[in-house]
Amino acid sequence: MTQIIDGKKISTQIKEELKEQVAAYKAQGKEICLAVIQVGNDPASSVYVRNKKNACEYIGIRSLAYELPQETTEAELLSLIAELNDRAEVNGILVQLPLPAQINEEKVLNAISPLKDVDGFHPVNVGALCIGKKGFVSCTPAGVIELLKRSGISISGKECVVVGRSNIVGKPMALLLLRENGTVTVAHSRTEDLKTVTRRADILVVAVGKPRMITADYVKEGAVVIDVGIHRDEKNKLCGDVDYPSVAPHCSAITPVPGGVGPMTIAMLMKNCVESVSV
Ligand code: NDP
């Protein structure tokens, strides 16, 4: 029978563990503080920011909200980041993406101190992951590893295929699977005969950004399938990059959308925030 990996339940467990850790830090007089910056009022970003603030509140992390107008200049944003980098009581800084067109995203992300980069996007942290050193890891791929581990799925020695090579999901995902001793292949839009590649996978992680693209013919019988994608379909229903109804019966384990990888991203952000207190 197919194991449905319950991201909601696992993320709740993680948040409960973090809540206890935060309480222990508080008892030692240590408070954790996350600065969340949003530029403009993109409705999807507002939802993400609100969810992050709620998670902070639940766990006992102090959050500072900076809601800047759409016309904020790059210089103004960089100056706020510089101020937050210098403030000792701020442990983590998060800039909600996307940013308005007048602001260079890369420049902004690179301006955040690597020691406060709880999203794990700074090149220093990406480099640390690459060479197996300690650092903040991008939250969504880190969440996938937690899902696998806490579902009793071993990665070591397995054929792992990641579809997608973005900087925030595909590449760090591949590096994390490698760190866990998986045998890793990264597929992308130029991959020839994608189905042959994905059908090799014992663990298939899909971060392709195309609704329901991965159908049963891309999946080996008994594979573990992790769906990172999140979309609204023509009926405004949430769906992933995997065609769940056709794929699920062929898997040993699969993540649903919603309720799979999605809830793990915020849980791992909270984990990074808690870890930021000791860097
Ligand atoms: P990107 O669009 O940045 O990357 C998509 C990747 O898929 C690219 O590497 C691209 O290849 C590859 N690709 C596109 N088309 C094909 C194809 N036909 N065959 C093979 N590979 C293809 O997306 P992200 O990595 O940012 O996100 C991926 C998905 O995950 C999205 O659905 C997004 O919404 C979701 N997401 C979910 C999160 C969560 O919390 N659950 C967090 C972040 C993202 P190439 O590089 O060659 O162009």
- Cβ-contact 62, 31 below 8 angstroms: yes
Q: Ligand 1 pocket: which residues have CB below 6 Å?
A: 140, 163-166, 168-170, 187-191, 194, 207-210, 228-231, 241, 261-262, 265
Q: What is the position in ligand 1's atom list of the atom closest to the CA of 262?
A: 41
Run of H or E including 253: strand 251-254
With the most atoms of ligand 1 within 8 angstroms of its CB, the residue from 10, 161, 173, 188 to mutate is: 188
- Which residue in 268, 175, 173 sits closest to 226, CA to CA? 173
pLDDT of residue 174: 98
Residue whose Cα lies nearest atom 36 of ligand 1: it is: 229
Ligand 1 centre to CA of 17 (Å) is: 31
Cα of 60 vs centre of ligand 1, distance in Å, is 33
Q: What is the pLDDT of residue 116?
A: 98
* Residue located nearest, by CA, to atom 40 of ligand 1: 262
From first to last of its 279 residues, what are the pLDDT tens digits of the chain?
999 999 999 999 999 999 999 999 999 999 999 999 999 999 999 999 999 999 999 999 999 999 999 999 999 999 999 999 999 999 999 999 999 999 999 999 999 999 999 999 999 999 999 999 999 999 999 999 999 999 999 999 999 999 999 999 999 999 999 999 999 999 999 999 999 999 999 999 999 999 999 999 999 999 999 999 999 999 999 999 999 999 999 999 999 999 999 999 999 999 999 999 887
Report CA-CA distances (Å) from 21 to 11, 71, 78: 15, 39, 32
Ligand 1 atom closest to residue 210's alpha carbon, by position in its atom list:
32
What is the CA(110)–ligand 1 centre distance, in A? 22
Q: Tell me whether the CATH fold assigned to 29-115 matches the one assigned to 139-262.
A: yes
Q: Which of 196, 202, 206, 156 has its CA nearest to residue 176?
A: 156
pLDDT of residue 278: 81
Pick among 3.40.50.10860, 3.30.470.10, 2.40.30.170, 3.40.50.620: CATH of 29-115: 3.40.50.10860
If you take atom 5 of ligand 1, which residue's CA is the nearest one?
Answer: 208
Q: What phi and psi, each to the nearest 5 degrees, are found at residue 231?
A: -145, 165
Q: Which long-range contacts (CB under 8 A, 24 or more apart) does 70-76 make?
A: 70/39, 70/40, 70/41, 70/100, 71/100, 71/102, 72/39, 72/40, 72/100, 72/103, 73/102, 73/103, 74/102, 74/103, 74/104, 74/107, 74/108
Per-domain residue ranges of the chain? 29-115, 139-262
Q: Which of 228, 242, 261 to mutate to test the pocket of ligand 1 (most atoms within 8 A of CB)?
A: 228
Ligand 1 pocket: which of 144, 161, 189, 232 to mutate (most atoms within 8 A of CB) = 189
Query: Tokens 């050193």 — which residue?
Result: 133
CA–centroid distance, residue 158 to ligand 1 (Å):
23
What is the token pair recorded at 132?
A: 């197996």
pLDDT of residue 279: 76
Q: Choose which CATH entry (3.40.50.1220, 3.30.420.40, 3.40.50.720, 1.10.3720.10) describes domain 139-262.
A: 3.40.50.720
Please identify every residue annotated as catalytic: 52, 96, 119
